[in-house]
Amino acid sequence: MIKIIKSRIVVFVIFISLSYLLPVIYQDILGFMLILSIGVIHGANDLLIIKKYTRKNSLKSQISYFFYYLGLVFLGFVFFYLFPSIALLSFVLVSIYHFGEQHWEVSASNAEFVNVKRIYPIILHGLIFFVIVFMNNINIVNDVLLSFNTISLNYTSLRILLFVLFLIYMSLLLSSKSMRVYFADEFVFFILLFVLTLNSSLIFGFSIYFIFFHSILSIKDQVKYIYGDDNSEYIKKYLISALPYFILAILFLIGSYLFIDFESLDILPIMFTFLAAITFPHVIVIEKMYSSMK
């Protein structure tokens, strides 16, 4: 527990410092690189996870699951094209649960959720994360919302919402004897996240949380589930399995740089559409994984 807290503080201190040193353009480049590398890798082995919990090893089954998975990704893109505002809201809601679930899967065991319904800390953690990110990047967030034909957010309303959610969250942790030990950790975590997003770009702040407090932790859990252990040998096998997807991500990055005029194109809506399309099926797979582990 102490090791996790220390590692989180170190990550925050490093990237808070970088947010003051790097111009926004370099923050965004670093953020995109993290998302398109580690972020893509953390969802690249979903088919291995499906293979594990379905226990169907035949080539026919694997091909079928591949096309089902690809179909869900395609449907995600279609969903955004036909109903952009509803799709964006769905992406945020799904991400709230997904991020909160991963956070508490690492932080606490099932036995520690004694007097607390597990869903409450999961949802509250994810909600507070998004409110902080949205509030501290309100102008850019509203530009993105406008591009999806949805209503804009109000800074004052978000600030009030953050206060209320944080008060409920901290009270919830204090009210449970088994969860009280996490009070200081969660308090410090969100204070440092607030400081990070206060000075960083939207992409940079989001990517630091997404990579260091979600994707890397998810990779460790996935490796342990697929191979039975998360030692360096199995992590290496996991990364090799994900290598084709990583190469595709790099080619996508290079192709985007060469063929897309970013100065005349708003890249944020495209990025969120891309992330959402691959997130929907990934969340289903990870939820199944954690369910089968219990």
Q: Where are the domains of the chain?
A: 2-293
Give the whole-angstrom CA distance, residue 214 versus residue 202. 17
User: What letters, b where the CB count within 10 A reaches 16 and e where it falls short, cover 126-137?
Assistant: bbbbbbbbbbbb
The string of pLDDT tens digits covering residues 19-30 is: 999 999 999 989
Residue-level pLDDT at 153: 94
In terms of average pLDDT, the best of 113-117, 220-224, 287-291 is 220-224
Average pLDDT rounded to a whole number, residues 234-246: 85
The string of pLDDT tens digits covering residues 5-17 is: 778 889 999 999 9
The pTM for the full model equals 0.87
How confident is the prediction for the chain on average, in pLDDT? 85
Q: What CA–CA distances, in Å, run from 284 to 97, 157, 179, 290?
A: 11, 32, 27, 10
The string of pLDDT tens digits covering residues 74-104 is: 888 888 888 888 888 888 999 999 999 999 9
Residue-level pLDDT at 99: 94
